[in-house]
């Protein structure tokens, strides 16, 4: 097996790299001769070697893959590349004499860009590979540019959200650390919910957005009078009615922001969480008296995170409860009713939540 690279002259344009995978050495040599002039060549005699080489050589620009190989065949290689994500960035050409429609259809389904049937025309094959490599290069470069722009936009979103959260901290001396912990707890519970319940599965990117949006769950407290916000004693019914307005006031603040300042998904999560993080499973929350699954799953998660952190944290009107007491209060219904699925997820990740709250308080 020849695994050496054909390096061009010093100072010349760097050659692209093609990995040729076939269990027949003669077949590999024929293909190598087709492309050796313009490409660096890697060779593999079976699927295991292909996977290994892709890990060792991130510079590979294309794979010419035989389907029938011992051990790990071409279909298994495609499945592995699909799992690792390599198939999204490296074009795979199936080079085969097989006419098994089912197998070829599966290869396409797993991400192969083309089926080159033996015998093949040399010029056609060379041009096809060159064109696809260039297409993938342009696409990969564009994706990299877009990813950089998204990253910068996300940093701007986080900076803006954290700035708004700091305003809450000035108004309410207890909310500064609280909002940071809520973000972390929300991410932990939301990830567990996503893992446990297929109907609520979300990508890591979406969960990150929800956790970021959770920072602004109490932004409406900016509009609540100091005398009520920081009252050391129990609120009167009239004062509590004013306090409950922080949910809708938060939405008013978000609506007043120029559109385009925030990622739309994050804005939508912020808006929903601001308004509905005090709704309850039995419909006895506020402001809209929603119940059950009418409350978004992320607002339900933030509600549990909010109550738990409020219980274990000191407030002007109470001392902090220890974690076990807080947990028992939540599960005994002393803080309202919650979705049993979320309570189970909360219970399953309590150790991680305890570590998160301890670190966030340092």
pTM: 0.60
- Does position 362 have pLDDT exceeding 50, yes or no? no
**Cβ 20 vs Cβ 64: under 8 Å:** yes
DSSP reduced 3-state for 96: strand
d(CA 330, CA 116): 62
CA distances from 243 to 54, 230, 309 (A): 58, 11, 18
CA-closest candidate to residue 55, choices 20, 16, 85: 85
Asked which of 9-18, 119-128, 176-185 is least confident by mean pLDDT, the reply is 9-18
Question: Residue 356, Cβ neighbours under 10 Å: how many?
Answer: 20
CA-closest candidate to residue 323, choices 273, 361, 280: 361
Residues in Cβ contact with 337 at an 8 Å cutoff, skipping those fewer than 6 apart: 280, 281, 282, 284
Residues in Cβ contact with 77 at an 8 Å cutoff, skipping those fewer than 6 apart: 21, 47, 50, 51, 65
41: which strand partners? 18
Both tokens of 19, joined, read 């990995």
Average pLDDT rounded to a whole number, residues 313-317: 78
- pLDDT at residue 190, rounded to an integer: 97
- pLDDT at residue 161, rounded to an integer: 73
Catalytic residue among 221, 244, 319, 341: 221
Instruction: State the pLDDT confidence band at 276, using cuts at 50, 70 and 90.
Output: very high
- pLDDT at residue 98, rounded to an integer: 75
**Cβ 84 vs Cβ 97: under 8 Å:** no
Active-site residue 221, yes or no? Answer: yes
């Amino acid at each position: 097996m020849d695994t050496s690279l054909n390096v061009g002259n010093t100072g010349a344009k760097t050659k692209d790299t093609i990995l040729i995978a076939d269990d027949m050495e003669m077949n590999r040599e024929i293909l190598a001769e087709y492309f050796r002039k313009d490409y660096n060549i890697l060779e593999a005699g079976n699927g295991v070697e292909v996977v290994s080489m892709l890990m060792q050589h991130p510079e590979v620009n294309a794979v010419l893959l035989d389907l029938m190989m011992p051990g790990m065949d071409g279909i298994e290689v495609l499945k592995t590349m699909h799992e690792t994500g390599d198939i999204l960035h490296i074009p795979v050409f199936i080079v085969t004499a097989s006419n098994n429609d089912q197998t070829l259809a599966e290869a396409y389904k797993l991400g192969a860009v083309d089926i080159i049937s033996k015998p093949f025309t040399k010029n056609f094959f060379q041009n096809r590979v060159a064109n696809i490599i260039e297409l993938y290069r342009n696409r990969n470069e564009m994706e990299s540019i877009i990813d950089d722009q998204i990253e910068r936009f996300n940093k701007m979103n986080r900076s803006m959200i954290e700035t708004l959260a700091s305003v809450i901290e000035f108004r309410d001396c207890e909310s500064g650390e609280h909002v940071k912990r809520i973000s972390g707890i929300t991410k932990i519970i939301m990830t567990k919910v996503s893992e446990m319940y297929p109907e609520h599965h979300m990508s890591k990117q979406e969960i990150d957005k929800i956790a970021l949006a959770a920072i602004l769950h109490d932004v409406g407290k900016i509009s609540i009078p100091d005398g009520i916000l920081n009252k050391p004693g129990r609120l009167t019914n009239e004062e509590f009615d004013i306090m409950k307005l922080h949910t809708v006031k938060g939405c008013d603040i978000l609506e007043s922001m120029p559109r385009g300042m925030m990622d739309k998904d994050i804005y939508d999560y912020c808006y929903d969480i601001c308004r509905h993080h005090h709704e309850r499973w039995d419909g006895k929350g506020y402001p809209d008296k929603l119940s059950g699954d009418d409350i978004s799953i992320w607002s339900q998660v933030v509600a549990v995170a909010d109550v738990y952190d409020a219980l274990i944290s000191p407030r002007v009107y109470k001392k902090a409860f220890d974690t076990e007491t807080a947990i028992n209060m939540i599960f005994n219904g002393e803080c309202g009713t919650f979705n049993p699925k979320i309570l189970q997820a909360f219970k399953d990740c309590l150790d991680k939540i305890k570590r998160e709250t301890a670190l966030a308080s340092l």
